[in-house]
A and B are shown apart, each in its own frame.
Chain A
Amino acid sequence: MELFELTVHALQQKLASRQVSSEEIVKSIFARINKVDDKVKAFITLTEEDALNKAREVDNAGQYKGIAGIPLGLKDLFCTPGVNTTCGSKMLADFVPTYASTAFRRLEEQQGILAGKLNMDEFAMGSSTENSSFFATCNPWDLTRVPGGSSGGSAAAVSADEVPFSLGTDTGGSIRQPASFCGVVGMKPTYGRVSRWGVIAFASSLDQVGVISKDVYDNALIMKIIAGHDHLDSTSAALDVPDYTACLDGDIKGLRVAYPQEYFGSGVDAAIKDAIKKALLKYEELGAIVEEVSLPHSEYALPAYYLVAPAEASANLARFDGVRYGYRDNEAENMEAMFSQTRCQGFGDEVKRRIMLGTYALSSGYYDAYYLKALKVRRLIADDFTRVFKDFDIIVAPTTPTTAFKLGKQSGDPLTLYMNDILTVPVNMAGLPGMSIPCGFDQGMPIGMQIIGKAFDEATIYKAAYAYEQSTNFHTMKPALGVE
């Protein structure tokens, strides 16, 4: 196997046993990127020179602790000092932060090496990465299809072996859906588990940082590094972070697994339902207890989400006014015009649509009917989960109703596109951890299985996911990309 194909833990072993140098790994990664990224188009910015310098530094020091010397990619909304952080938007095309997001800083403290910044739907709004202001990313399994979104670049880059792992964010499914579409492992931890400091906000009460990786072990390994309290984020939880890799023993005897009937409705492709049912049989085979449950308020999650998220976004994105940084329309005749023209030209259609939705939902006279009611629905959704988790350890469901769709197919139809999030959004609304792992294929396109856990119980999700992964080989399959 080539170096670029290896997992983080495989690379760790090779570095520790001095079989390879970090420089060799980084060079291998960039050779791969040069070979495939004009097809996949996962990266917005590459930091090859810095990465090589860092790799040599690590090699010279000769200490390979943690993820020292291992390359990584970041969704382009993680602030990186000195490196453009565009958020997929013309608005921030030239924005260079002076500060580092906490999640990235924790990886850098272990001498993880940034390979580049990954494409995304503008301001994380979308499910196909077609809303990027710059270009669309393609699905490595079929270049005519979308990689999902909004962390589409992060999932595609891992799937195409351009980086061993990446970070993304998930507000309504933005890690799990692209992970599912690209056949990789994506974890959105509990809200509050990973600091949001330095992550450009979409919807603050829903946004959560997570890991996209080639396998479950890598995911657990990276999550342990980035998770934990941060004094810069008041909403980050002051709870200890368990050693997630330590619980990966494959033993899930007696694990109580629920599958909610509402997640197997008519909107979900038969092939996907079949794949999940097979996975549930596998769980039974491995000694788990599997039962059907009901999450009756699930159907209200999507409409409530499309009130809460745009409402928060309308405030979060109000700061992009052309005054202090970012794009500015210099032709404007006065201050008011400068504001409106800057925002009109700097934002894409989907962003503007959501700002308008959110502004409307918060307007005086509508607040109670929309925003406040959505918060109440949110509570009911969370209560549904709490009830199920009294008797079960995890919930298993499909990640998406379909596999990856064709590029351009849904871009003119926001409502259809919003339906992509229907199985992932309830988890964000309840603030719970959720993961997507590969569990099959439909006509050559990957299918993802979603595993939902109790709040701050990522460990059980990892344990269950690992047991399944070890008894199957979907995670070892790689897209051909027409290069080998």
Chain B
Amino acid sequence: MSKDYEVVIGLEVHAELKTQTKIFCSCSTAFGAEPNTQTCPICAGFPGVLPVLNKKVVDLAITTGLALNCEIPNICKFDRKNYFYPDSPKAYQISQFDMPICINGYLDIDVEGRRKRIGINRVHMEEDAGKLVHQGDITTTPFSLVDLNRCGIPLLEIVSEPDMRSAQEARAYMEKLRAMLLFAGVSDCKMQEGSLRCDANVSVRPIGQVEFGTRTEIKNLNSFRALERAIEYEAARHIEAIKGGETLVQETRTWDEEKQLTRSMRSKEEAHDYRYFPEPDLLPLKISQEWVNSIRAAFPEMPEQAQKRLVEEYGLPEYDAQILTLTPDSLAFFDQCLKQYPDAKTISNWMMGEFNRLLNQNNMEIGESKVTAAGLVQMLKSIDDGTISGKMAKMVLEEMFATGNCPEVIIREKGLVQISDEGTLLTLIDDIIKTNPKVVEDYKSGKEKAFGFFAGQIMKATQGQANPTLVNKLLKDRLNHIQ
């Protein structure tokens, strides 16, 4: 990025709330049901029906507001946002316009060791729309099918201030926000399934300029990586345009994941006039201090508190603490391990290392894996008591990951028992020393490699089952005693 320009980013995040039922009717919110099986006259927008607000949605919105350090005004209201589209059965969305449930919050992010505060402008409640299914492109498809299952699923829209100055900061904000929402139990935040969605507002201005540059809104950002890449692309496009003397237009653009670029969707002139007005079917919502207090009292541990605990109580490095608290599942896994195994750093090393590698390789979350905390602890104990080596443990973990079997079974079935019998090992060592006098000479003349050769031969002879620590000790002993 050019040093003369500064990119300004604000994010609008939609999080699907974790409720059993929809926001204004009692239909189920379960994901993946047959089309139009989770609908009723209310969410399908039939004549004469009325919305009734799901209280759980308000609970979760308040929880989010508290997690994001927001003010929660004692009254908020719902508004109608009007637009025609077949996925919107009432042709308006019930949302909150000028009196949202939460305002004026913030979120602290850490980028390259520096802490930065990102303002939260507002958090508001609204209903999701349905889904259109068509053949190929909507402009040429012979027909469109409408699935209203998603209609009326509760959403929170979380709008940041334009406080971010790089794609990296935007990503850090999203990651942190996701962790907060997960810890607060508000949303399951699956970007691929669309339960966490993000639009980015991007503008660029010369360093030192106070006014914002022309802003574009980027949609269809389905992963952290897409968010980062799209912002980088868009910022570069703006800078190029400014340098080239072009006028940027305020517009909505979409991120093309395949081509890795943004494309224009609609300009400001084509923008909808949503004709917001107060929703007459719902009374203004009063939120008492008692309501807020009761939610505050039942508040779960948030990532920052957990990090502090990990560092202060268990002596973990800051970095470990941050990684382990990216999701509540990961923290819970760690905490469970720690109950049965005293060495926090060893647990952390395995979780962040080998286990994490396997998860990433398989594109899985910790909660989806077959490896249990008890299993990992059993494995660690087997290393400690010398039953298996660290290297074997990696194989065991891989097997645990694949089959879900416990380490004991895997060790037995694979015959992975470590040879720690000194007599057996010494016989082997003596044998190898005897048959390789030249290498012994090399060793004596100071060639370190020679030691490795002997160790390797022993591991080979035992098919990797020799206790490496013991082999090293015995081998050194024998070699040093040869005249």
| A and B form one complex | yes
A84 within 8 A of B: no
Question: Are the CB atoms of A234 and B49 closer together than 8 Å?
Answer: no
* Complex interface bits, A18-53 against B, C-beta within 8 A gives 1, otherwise 0: 000000000000000000000000000000000000
Instruction: Please state if B47 and A205 are interface contacts (CB–CB under 8 Å).
Output: no
Contacts A318-B90, A362-B277; A197 near B283 (Cβ below 8 A): no
Residues of B within 8 A of A77 (CB): 48
Residues of A contacting B47 in the complex (Cβ-Cβ under 8 angstroms): 79, 85, 87, 92, 95, 97, 200-201, 319-320, 325
* Residues 79 to 109 of chain B near chain A (Cβ within 8 Å): 80, 82, 84, 86, 89-92
Which chain A positions have C-beta within 8 A of B299? none
Number of chain A residues close to chain B: CB under 8 A: 43
- Contact A199–B92 (Cβ < 8 Å): no
Instruction: Kindly list chain A residues whose C-beta atoms are within 8 Å of the C-beta of B44.
Output: 324
Q: How far is the CA of A320 from the CA of B84 in the complex (A)?
A: 10
Partner of A318, one of B51, B91, B273: B91
In whole angstroms, how far apart are the Cα atoms of A322 and B216 in the complex?
34
Q: Nearest-CB distance from A170 to chain B (Å)?
A: 16
A372's nearest neighbour on chain B, judged by CB, is: B277
Q: Is the CB of B80 within 8 A of A315?
A: yes
Residues of B within 8 A of A233 (CB): 50, 52
B48 touches A319 (CB 8 A): no
Interface of A: prevailing SS: loop
The answer to whether A234 touches B275, judged by C-beta atoms less than 8 angstroms apart, is: no
Residues of B contacting A197 in the complex (Cβ-Cβ under 8 angstroms):
48-50
Q: Given A92-B47, A201-B48, A323-B86, does the pair A363, B273 have CB atoms closer than 8 Å?
A: yes
Smallest Cβ distance from A368 to chain B, in angstroms? 12
Please measure, in the bound complex, the distance between the C-alpha atom of A311 and the C-alpha atom of B46, giving whole angstroms. Answer: 19
Instruction: Scan A193-227; emit 1 where CB is below 8 A from any B CB, else 0.
Output: 00011111101110000000000000000000000
Given known contacts A197-B50, A319-B45, A339-B84, is B277 in contact with A311 (CB within 8 Å)? yes
A352 to chain B: closest CB distance in Å? 15
Identity of the chain A residue whose Cβ is nearest the Cβ of B53 in the assembled complex:
A234
Residues of B within 8 A of A201 (CB): 47-48, 281
Residues in B whose Cβ lies below 8 Å from that of A311: 277
**Complex interface residues of chain A between 44 and 78 (CB less than 8 A to chain B):** 77
Say yes or no for A321: interface residue by CB 8 A criterion: yes
A324 → B minimal CB distance (Å): 6
For residue A315, which residues in chain B have a CB less than 8 angstroms away from its CB?
A: 80, 82, 90-92, 275, 277
Chain A proximity of B351: nearest CB distance (Å) = 48
Q: Does A344 belong to the interface (CB within 8 Å)?
A: no
In the complex, what distance in Å separates the CA atom of A323 from the CA atom of B146? Answer: 9
Kindly identify, within residues 297 to 326 of chain A, every residue whose CB is under 8 Å from any CB belonging to chain B.
311-312, 314-315, 318-321, 323-325
A362: contacting residue among B82, B86, B144, CB under 8 A:
B82
> In whole Å, how far is A40's beta carbon from the nearest beta carbon of chain B?
26
5 A-B pairs with the lowest CB-CB distances in the bound complex, closest first: A318-B91, A204-B280, A205-B280, A362-B275, A200-B47
On B, residues with C-beta under 8 Å from A are 41, 44-53, 80, 82, 84, 86, 89-92, 144, 146, 273, 275-277, 280-283
8 other A-B residue contacts (CB within 8 Å) besides A200-B48, A314-B275, A318-B90: A85-B47, A101-B48, A196-B50, A235-B283, A315-B277, A318-B92, A319-B45, A323-B86
